[in-house]
């Protein structure tokens, strides 16, 4: 779930201000705090204007981490979020409250927005599924022998993952993982013993226009 600080920051501040946590009245029904529960609606994202500020949970908001704001789910809840238009997906951890806008069910961080293809549109149609509630995880997220790798995309559609893998080229490969009953096809490249090496590889991919994050293997 952790990502590293390597995403470009220019030319998106205005979008973040438009898309982020507004304070209008909302009526969207809450999702039950149960593993496997789903909610469908729209998600926005927030970043620069909130970076470094305290979230509702007391954590300092870091726009480069895979986190999200939800109105009711307990802090620490892990969610699988899928863009219903593109099948792009990512996992986030709830550490803030919002968005308070009719029809919007989630505000994701800038890093998560990059993985979901939300930075340009600002608001996207999503489906979220509760992966786990705080204190209920019994196994660690997928780690295969330790170390780090670079992820350039995650999809619920294998065809889209194949297309991205072919575009990235080189040693890019698809790994499959089942998260909350959903099969995810993750496009990843490389295996690195330390985060510094993985960070350098990810920076090269970002320079090529890909949304790359460093993740645990």
Residue pair 33/129 in contact (Cβ under 8 Å)? The answer is: no
Instruction: Express as a percent the part of the chain with pLDDT over 70.
Output: 82
Instruction: Express as a percent the part of the chain with pLDDT over 90.
Output: 71
Which residues on adjacent β-strands are paired with residue 96? 69
Please tell me whether residue 174 adopts helix, strand or coil conformation: strand
pLDDT at 136 over 80: no
Q: What is the pTM of this model?
A: 0.80
Residues 6+ apart with CB under 8 A from 79: 68, 70, 73, 91, 92, 93, 94, 106, 128, 129, 130, 131
Q: The tokens of 56 are what?
A: 């509702």
pLDDT at 22 over 70: no
Give the Cβ contact number of residue 173 at 10 Å: 13
pLDDT (tens digit per residue) in 76-111: 999 999 999 999 999 999 999 999 888 899 999 999
Q: What is the mean pLDDT of the chain?
A: 85
pLDDT (tens digit per residue) in 40-82: 999 999 988 899 999 999 999 999 899 999 999 999 999 999 9
pLDDT at 182 over 70: yes
pLDDT at 133 over 80: yes
Residues 6+ apart with CB under 8 A from 116: 43, 81, 83, 88, 89, 90, 108, 124, 126
Give the Cβ contact number of residue 103 at 10 Å: 12
């Amino acid at each position: 779930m952790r990502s590293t600080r390597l995403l470009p920051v220019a030319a998106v501040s205005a979008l973040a201000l438009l898309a982020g946590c507004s304070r209008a009245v909302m009526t969207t029904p809450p999702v039950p705090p149960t593993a496997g529960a789903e909610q469908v609606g729209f998600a926005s994202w927030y970043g620069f204007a909130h970076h470094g500020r305290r979230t509702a949970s007391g954590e300092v908001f870091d726009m480069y981490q895979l986190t999200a704001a939800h109105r009711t789910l307990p802090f620490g809840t892990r969610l699988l979020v899928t863009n219903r238009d593109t099948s792009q997906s990512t996992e986030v951890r709830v550490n803030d409250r919002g968005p308070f806008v009719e029809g919007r069910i989630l505000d994701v961080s800038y890093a998560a927005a990059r993985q979901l293809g939300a930075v340009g549109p600002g608001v996207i149609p999503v489906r979220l599924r509760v992966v786990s509630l705080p204190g209920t995880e019994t196994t660690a997220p997928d780690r295969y022998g330790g170390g780090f790798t670079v992820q350039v995309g995650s999809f619920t559609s294998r065809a889209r993952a194949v297309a991205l893998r072919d575009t990235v080229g080189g040693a890019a490969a698809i790994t499959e993982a089942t998260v909350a009953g959903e099969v995810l096809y993750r496009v990843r490249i490389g295996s690195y013993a330390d985060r510094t090496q993985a960070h350098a590889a990810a920076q090269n991919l970002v320079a090529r226009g890909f949304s790359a994050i460093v993740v645990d293997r």
